Amino acid sequence: MTKARRIYEKIVTGILFSSSTITSLTVILIIVFLFREGIGLFNSTPTEKNYVIAVSRQNTIPIITSNELADIFNQDITNWKQLGGRNDSIVRLTLNDLSGIFTEEELGPDLEFFPQKLNEFVKTTPGVILYLSKEYLPKNFAGRIIPVKKITLLDFIFGKHWYPTSSPIPQFGIWPMIVGTLMVTLGAILFALPFGMATAIFMSEIAGNRLRNIMKPVVELLAGIPSVVYGFFGLVVLVPLIQSLFGLDVGETVLAGSIVLGIMALPTIVTVAEDALHATPQSLREASLALGASELQTLVRVVIPYSKSGISTAVILGTGRAIGETMAVLMVTGNSTHVNYSFLQPTRTIPATIAAELGDTSFGGVHYNALFALAIVLFLFTIIINLSVEVIKNRNQRVNQRG
């Protein structure tokens, strides 16, 4: 019997070890894959594969950025002098512009004469800028290909324009999403914290055991409701209410997202904070009351200070619950990629951007890499939140050991 039990224990131990090892390796591989795909963004230019930006040989501009290209093709920049070049008007040329410059007879039925005509046009137009596929460039091209500055980390983080599919040059600035994510999360915590703490205090200090045993499962049940249900509630109820209440053109705003996420974060905050309050030793309450303190004074000066570590953990975990939410936020925030610092304006968060766009990207493309880089930013946010929880727990343990 003893030998059989030892074999059984070894089998169970091996299963547990294998399971933990596979889980750890899977997490590590996911993180490695995430960073490998995301960092690839910073080794590439924003131009599409096999497409080039070309100018006349007389043009002295050595390199150009994606923002400058966007301004050129949006006609915000109309002269090369604005970029430090010669005083030549900028003439934009893409495949969509051919009919306005060349006739069908000059280009040929299958564009077979286009390379020759292109050379002639570049020679006679010093201010030209081309955005074309390499296949249309002749071997003896009269112009020169101008390099486009690679995407940098600073451009990616602090860029204010997110146009991943714009032509000819996409722009990948995630500052609007960072601001939107932080504002929606902050609003959610400001909404959920007062209600969550009030509920936790009531359940721990005021409600009897019978009522507490009823309320606790009900609150925890809220965490099991699918996020799309919360999003649908926000879209049908909150969005029209906010639009009518504040006289807005649209009700999909930061405020709507904050309220929905605040409701979703409530179960986490209530459960963790209530457990922390309930764990306060009864002897501390009795000692405070014996010294003449009222129940309210005992709560404010004894119970809450003793539970502040658990309450802080509840807030941080609630923040983590809110910052990674996707579907509900996607439905009620308006999905605007402009920088907005008002709670009554539309916005877009990082998780919503990834969810909305990843399915429409080509594998290995610049847009694909940009979304993975966005995921890295979100991953770093969650790591900071989790580390904050660990720091608070360790500090609380040191305080208790000293006490």
Predicted confidence (pLDDT) per residue in 38-81, tens digit: 998 887 788 777 888 999 998 889 999 888 888 898 888 999 99
Instruction: Note the pTM of the prediction, 2 decimals.
Output: 0.84
**pLDDT score recorded for residue 262:** 92
Q: Exposed e or buried b for every residue in 92-131, given b needs 16+ CB within 10 A? A: bbeeeebeeebeeeebeeebeebbebbbebbeebbbbbbb
C-alpha to C-alpha distance for 22 and 25, rounded to whole angstroms? 5
- Measured between alpha carbons, how far is residue 62 from residues 8, 50, 213 in Å? 72, 20, 72
Identify whether the C-beta of residue 375 lies closer than 8 Å to the C-beta of residue 181.
no
Looking at the domain that runs over 51-149, which CATH code has it been given?
Answer: 3.40.190.10
CB atoms within 10 A of CB 335: 17
**pLDDT score recorded for residue 25:** 92
What DSSP element (H or E) covers 128? strand 128-133
Tokens of 3: 């030998």
**pLDDT score recorded for residue 151:** 86
Domain residue extents for the chain: 2-43, 51-149, 175-402
Provide the residue-wise pLDDT of the chain in tens; the chain has 403 residues. Answer: 577 888 888 888 889 888 889 988 998 999 999 999 899 888 778 877 788 899 999 888 999 988 888 889 888 899 999 998 889 999 988 887 777 788 888 888 887 888 888 888 888 889 999 988 888 888 888 889 999 888 888 889 998 889 888 777 888 999 999 999 999 999 999 999 999 999 999 988 888 788 888 888 888 888 888 888 999 999 999 999 999 999 888 899 999 999 999 999 999 899 989 988 888 888 888 888 888 888 888 888 888 888 888 888 888 888 888 888 888 888 999 888 888 889 999 999 999 999 888 888 888 788 899 999 999 999 998 888 878 777 776 776 665 556 5
**pLDDT score recorded for residue 179:** 94
Identify whether the C-beta of residue 176 lies closer than 8 Å to the C-beta of residue 68.
no
**pLDDT score recorded for residue 60:** 87
Identify whether the C-beta of residue 257 lies closer than 8 Å to the C-beta of residue 358.
no
The CATH label, of 3.40.50.720, 3.40.50.300, 3.40.50.1370, 1.10.3720.10, for the domain at 175-402 is: 1.10.3720.10
CB atoms within 10 A of CB 76: 10
Per DSSP, helices labelled H in 239-365 are 239-246, 254-278, 282-290, 295-298, 304-306, 308-323, 327-332, 350-357
Sign of CA dihedral 103, 95, 161, 88: negative
Identify whether the C-beta of residue 180 lies closer than 8 Å to the C-beta of residue 348.
yes
Predicted confidence (pLDDT) per residue in 19-28, tens digit: 889 988 998 9
Query: Max Cα separation, the chain?
Result: 102
